[in-house]
Amino acid sequence: MKYGIIATDYDGTLATNGVVTDATITAMERYRDAGGTLIMVTGRELPELQKTCPRLDLFEGVVVLDAQVILNKRAVMVLPTGGNKASGLAAALKTLDLETVKVAGIGDAENDVDLLQRADVSVAVANALPRLKAIADKVTTQSRGAGVQELIEFILSGLL
């Protein structure tokens, strides 16, 4: 498998209205069973995420950030000063001793730009903002979790 790690955003990418579908969970299980590693990189706070995401156990790491205000679609997000999703992912990869494994990054909004720029291959889901689609190596034909399923299928089939 060329991309042994998928680093995914949560809201608008993995989840629809805060919910991850059973089909997306099944695809993530298949990826893990094939030897892949999942890392969630999100702007959500961990206590809130623990309430909304029933399968955090599928992720080797969950990167959550807080402290600097940035624009994210029509919302405002708070990230650590000097930190972003790329630096959070880098810290997670170092902590998990996975720095040499190729990463597929997937997202949908402004706060995912740094994540996609850090990834070895960048993917925007179909519902992503035009700015993200413009910098992505690949844009899925499906939105949100179905787009993540599509990415997993491409990786598992060797097409990516």
Q: Where are the domains of the chain?
A: 5-157
Mean pLDDT across the chain:
88
User: What integer is the mean pLDDT of 63-79?
Assistant: 52
Amino acid at 34: A
CA 39 to centroid of chain Cα atoms:
7
What distances in angstroms separate CA 145 from CA 40, 95, 104, one per listed residue? 13, 27, 15
| 5-157: CATH class | alpha beta
Confidence grade of residue 32 (pLDDT, cut at 50, 70, 90): very high
**Does the pLDDT of residue 25 top 60, yes or no?**
yes
Say yes or no to pLDDT of 79 above 70: no
pLDDT at 74: 52
With beta carbons less than 8 A apart as the criterion, state whether 79 and 114 touch: no
Residue 96 in contact with residue 87, Cβ under 8 Å?
Answer: no
pLDDT the model gives residue 40: 92
Distance CA 20, CA 18 (A): 7
Q: Look up the pTM and report it.
A: 0.89
19 pLDDT tier (thresholds 50, 70, 90)? very high
